[in-house]
Amino acid sequence: MNQPNAPSSPRPDRRWILRGAFLAAVPYALLPAARAGAEPRAVDYPFADWQPANPSNRTAADRPASHRVDRVVIHVTQTEYTKTLAVFQNPKKKVSAHYVVRSVDGHVAQCVRESDIAWHAGNWEYNTRSVGIEHEGWVDRPAYFTDALYERSARLTASVCERYGISRDRAHIIGHYEVPGTDHTDPGPNWDWARYMRLVNSV
Ligand SMILES: [Zn+2]
């Protein structure tokens, strides 16, 4: 996670307008889980649980048309999974990531649509061009980096790379510490990059 890194003037949320127009044209019976008043389930990764960040914590966009997506940024939360979701839902925090992976079982939450810009890299250009994935844990507590976390996260990253044509290498799948200008160290020295990249490339 990171401090505010939004552009100076937020753009109007055009996607919601477009989505409204789209939904108006779809027969009601075709909508997923048509609970009265509920927002339609809106994940980009089919195995993710939709846990939306507050709209104040991300920038609406139309990626990849509006911004090329060519990086995946790997993070560690430095707090618990549920607290991470709560931070992203708090409009005062000004931070978000597209995904959060839970330690114990590798469960994946999606918090920001991939078409939108999440605020995770501490660098606006890198926010615009990347998908950010948070992992529950601490950089100095390697026990949080479970087999399930590595395996489920690798499947998610492979899916992102496949869908945007991103090379599955360390030039394009980077740690937060590799973002220019950051003072963050995550995922830290206990993150097994060799293992992770092997898993990403074996999917
Ligand atoms: Zn980070």
Distance 48 CA to ligand 1 centre (A): 20
- pLDDT the model gives residue 42: 76
Band of residue 1 on the pLDDT scale cut at 50, 70, 90: low
Looking at per-residue confidence, does 29 or 184 come out higher? 184
- Asked if the model's pLDDT at residue 189 lies above 90, the reply is yes
- The tens digit of pLDDT for each residue in 108-132 reads 999 999 999 999 999 999 999 999 9
Tokens 């799948």 belong to which residue?
173
Distance 41 CA to ligand 1 centre (A): 26
Tell me the catalytic residues: 134
For residue 147, the one-letter residue type is D
Band of residue 100 on the pLDDT scale cut at 50, 70, 90: very high
Distance 124 CA to ligand 1 centre (A): 14
Q: Which of 96, 166, 164 is nearest to 133 (CA)?
A: 96
Taken in order of first residue, the domains within the chain and their CATH numbers are: 42-202 (3.40.80.10)
pTM: 0.82
Band of residue 41 on the pLDDT scale cut at 50, 70, 90: low
